[in-house]
Chains A and B, each alone.
Chain A
């Protein structure tokens, strides 16, 4: 027996592994451009959040029907991987249905039937999702940030999954026929629950053609999976992996809490005479207040950007988006990711991080606009809505800090409010000595 298919298979596997490794490495490098967050602690609470939100899909079910459909694809993806493991081992060892003798034909058929059940589930849901995106006029899939690539990306993922499931079912159907024709290499495990209905399609074919079709479907299926795995690392679909670490590293503080800036605390303490200037740690003169570019954000905020699958639940809840302002929390995440990709391309050319960042572009200005940042009411609807606990708000607020503290480019009415706070300790123009006048009529 020729070892050629096995060698070919191993070569494909190795090539896919290489491309995925290289790509994952680049993504990791761009994420680590972000600032350190320091120790995060609370491991138990983090694990619980991850199990609930990512593994258990807790937040997806705020829309029960879509939540259920998404769960079918998710469960299908997770469980069918067991079958993929068998396929990979078959490919390496030159076997066919390696697990069948190990599990016994009853258990094995039950398992494959279960996989087929999931495969059909995935297929049906993908068709529904395609229709939902392209036929139903859901506004959140049609917004300005979804033009071109994001829409194509979403459709490609769904089509990919449909084709892969179809190949899986074809492979099983042709396999079932070959079993009945006593072809060596096809141990009898019986027909399967769904693919048996495909049998009449292929039953008239000669054995050789059938073997070719079965092998073709087998190769197409596994190469498709490998190609898809590479594709995922370039796509919004990366959430299938990053949802887990991203929820693990969720913000566990109350949503209303805004990150403190300790360097400013020292300066304020010195100004108020609460700290001796000599006791303060030396200030970093290169430090930027707020975020102008991705290196001013934390690695978690950057991982947020890669974890976003552009579902738009944030944008659908955002009060600014809903009233026609030029702000979409989803776009904030997409723009951050676009900048990460932009810097990643420079890194791939062999440039250092510093050189890569200095390519004439910055996150704020070239990707995120001031109008978006200024429209936010900080209401946390986007944070609450995100099924993988991304916080578009934290990026918005960090960029706002840059606009205010580094550029002093705030609306004049805000400048007036700042002036009032400085002079009257109230955002409006009232005298501090009048602050208690409200009680006058009570005390008469």
Chain B
């Protein structure tokens, strides 16, 4: 094992050893398959390794939470996904879940209990903030010290679940200059991908929602647009490309910002 080797234990492996992790990291479909968001998954796993969090993943045993099916009106498909996930989670006796996807977070936390799945679920922004507050995660004001960073609120983190401050606390811990867009927190503008819009073309209109949003982000003159959601990541990155600001303005997930400052 070299120094650069990280551990990514699966629940199956831990169970074979008779161990139980502190927390299950729910990777999500984007975190597992989307090339850009895989980097976020890797960044978060590196942080967990460095901090020494006793975690595990489900690996190939994880299924989609069913969020896009439910939001697209396909309740059968949602419940099929949900039930089979609950069976897996309960089989391993999972108590606590952390995820880097607000859609997975919302579904696991708010919609699984009615189907019999009860877990403590937190979004990785809250998890990172807790690690910082507890002193387990030490951030050196390095890479982003004094730099203008703006945070794009995800609907399923903010309005849907009232998490507004944790991501901001994480950014402040970097000694970055947090600048807000005009529409932020409860008034944050959606990236345009929620409600299964990610998986269809937008309806006819005057403008794409992500363009409207990225224009607002660019107005802040921030060099970094921080996000905490795989769909927002895609939409904001596309917006930056549309405005030909690639290389000039970066879109990063919170865990990537942290990792670069560790």
Contacts and interface: CB of A to CB of B under 8 A. Distances in A.
Given A257-B110, A261-B75, A427-B68, A377 B161 contact: no
26 contacts: A254-B109, A254-B110, A254-B161, A254-B162, A256-B156, A258-B71, A264-B75, A319-B212, A322-B189, A327-B203, A377-B190, A378-B195, A380-B160, A381-B190, A405-B74, A413-B200, A417-B69, A422-B77, A425-B81, A435-B27, A436-B10, A438-B27, A438-B31, A438-B33, A441-B42, A442-B8
Interface stretch (A1-9, A150-158, A266-274): A266-274
B180 interface: no
A255 B155 CA distance: 10
Interface of B: 2, 5-6, 8, 10, 27, 29, 31-34, 38, 41-42, 45-46, 57, 59-60, 62-64, 66, 68-77, 79-81, 83-84, 87, 106, 109-111, 114-115, 155-156, 159-162, 186-187, 189-190, 192-209, 212
Interface string A234-271: 00000000000000000001111110110011011101
Contacts of A426: 29, 32-33, 63-64
A416 B161 CA distance: 29
Contact of A435 (B6, B32, B200, B205): B32
Given A324-B205, A411-B201, A426-B64, A379 B73 contact: no
Contacts of B161: 254-256
A268 B86 CA distance: 13
Contacts, number: 219
- In the A-B complex, the 8 residue pairs with the smallest Cβ-Cβ separation, listed nearest first, are A256-B160, A324-B206, A404-B73, A378-B195, A379-B190, A425-B63, A324-B205, A379-B155
Interface residues of A, number: 71
Interface string A177-211: 00000000000000000000000000000000000
A403 B198 CA distance: 18
B205 A325 contact: yes
Contacts of A317: 187
Given A326-B203, A411-B201, A380 B73 contact: no
A404 B60 contact: no
B135 to A, nearest CB: 26
A359 to B, nearest CB: 26
Interface of A: 253-258, 260-261, 264-265, 267-269, 271-272, 274, 289-290, 317, 319-320, 322-327, 371, 374-381, 383-384, 397, 400-405, 410-411, 413-414, 416-418, 421-422, 425-428, 430, 432-439, 441-444
Given A258-B70, A421-B66, A377 B199 contact: no
A442 B205 contact: no
Contacts of B8: 439, 442-443
B203 A320 contact: yes
B160 A435 contact: no
Nearest to A437: B32
A405 B78 CA distance: 12
Scoring B31, B57, B190 by chain A CB atoms within 10 A of each residue's CB, the highest score goes to B190
Q: In this complex, which of A258, A261, A327, A397 has the most chain B Cβ atoms within 10 angstroms of its Cβ?
A: A258
